[in-house]
Amino acid sequence: MIRVNLIGNVPKAAARPWLPANQKSAAAGLAILILTGLGVGGWWWQVSSARAAVDVEIANAEADLTRLKNVSLLVDAAVAQKLELTERLGLIDRLHRTQRAPVELLQTVSRSVPEGLWLLELTQKGNAIQIEGRASSLTALTDFVERLQTSGRFEHPVDIVTTNMETVQESSVVRFALKAAAK
């Protein structure tokens, strides 16, 4: 069996292009414009993100700087306080050393005073020491001078500068003045 198509081929309607030919260049330009806009938008977003990250880093750095300035002020205050305390301790040590010498001198002199002798004045100018007093006898005076020389606080000799006889309340006493040099 043979089949014959009597209707024939009906021409199909011509396919209509999706975009007319005169609009193809406009569509291409629009596509390029959209792609360029997307590219610029992406670049802008990237720059904005980078700027935000840099702003955060700057804020963190400024906060650290403020904190470190405060710490620096504390350190400076601590250093100044340490310096002041060191100066005070040095002053206390110097005072302690300078006060020790007169105290030791007075202790030595008071331990050397024999019975029958009393002191009226003790003067120190640098290493030179002058002692004035009264004694009931010349023996008490010589004992005092000998004790001062053997104490080790004075350079030899301890000199008797003057001796005078005085009467105090109907008693005869020896008024004396000594001169010595402290070690």
Tell me the mean pLDDT in the region 137-165. Answer: 89
6 in any annotated domain: no
Judge if 99 and 132 occupy the same domain: no
Higher pLDDT, 20 or 147: 147
Judge if 101 and 42 occupy the same domain: yes
Q: Which two three-digit tokens encode residue 4?
A: 């014959």
Considering 65, 83, 112, which residue would you say is the last residue of a domain?
A: 112
Identify which of 124, 113, 95 has the alpha carbon closest to the alpha carbon of residue 183: 124
Cα angle at 74 between 70 and 80, to 5 degrees? 140
Residue 71 — φ and ψ, nearest 5°?
A: -65, -40
Is the pLDDT score of 169 beyond 90?
A: no
24 in any annotated domain: no
Considering 112, 137, 156, which residue would you say is the last residue of a domain?
A: 112
Q: What is the structure's pLDDT at 10?
A: 62
pLDDT per residue as tens digits for the range 79-116: 999 999 999 999 998 888 777 777 788 888 899 999 99
- Which of 9-18, 53-62, 114-123 is predicted with the least confidence, judged by mean pLDDT? 9-18
Dihedral sign (CA 84, 90, 95, 96): positive
Q: How many domains does the chain have?
A: 2
149 in any annotated domain: yes
Q: How far is CA 87 from the centre of its chain?
A: 12
13 in any annotated domain: no
Q: What is the pLDDT confidence band of residue 146, given thresholds at 50, 70 and 90?
A: very high
130 in any annotated domain: yes
Judge if 43 and 105 occupy the same domain: yes
Judge if 52 and 95 occupy the same domain: yes
Range of the domain at 163: 115-182
Is the pLDDT score of 18 beyond 80?
A: no
Alpha helix (H) residue ranges in the chain? 21-112, 138-150
Judge if 150 and 178 occupy the same domain: yes
3 in any annotated domain: no
- DSSP H or E stretch at residue 180: strand 171-182
Considering 112, 131, 163, which residue would you say is the last residue of a domain?
A: 112
User: Which residues neighbour 179 within 8 Å (Cβ) at sequence distance 6 or greater?
Assistant: 128, 129, 130, 158, 159, 161
Burial 61-71 (b: 16+ CB within 10 A, else e): eeeeeeeeeee
Is the pLDDT score of 11 beyond 80?
A: no
Phi-psi region of 125 (alpha: psi -120 to 50; beta: other; left: phi over 0): beta
Q: Which two three-digit tokens encode residue 118?
A: 């009393």
3-state secondary structure 112-141: HCCCCEEEEEEEEECCEEEEEEEECCHHHH
1 in any annotated domain: no
Judge if 100 and 119 occupy the same domain: no
Judge if 133 and 81 occupy the same domain: no
11 in any annotated domain: no
Give me the CATH number covering residue 145.
3.30.1360
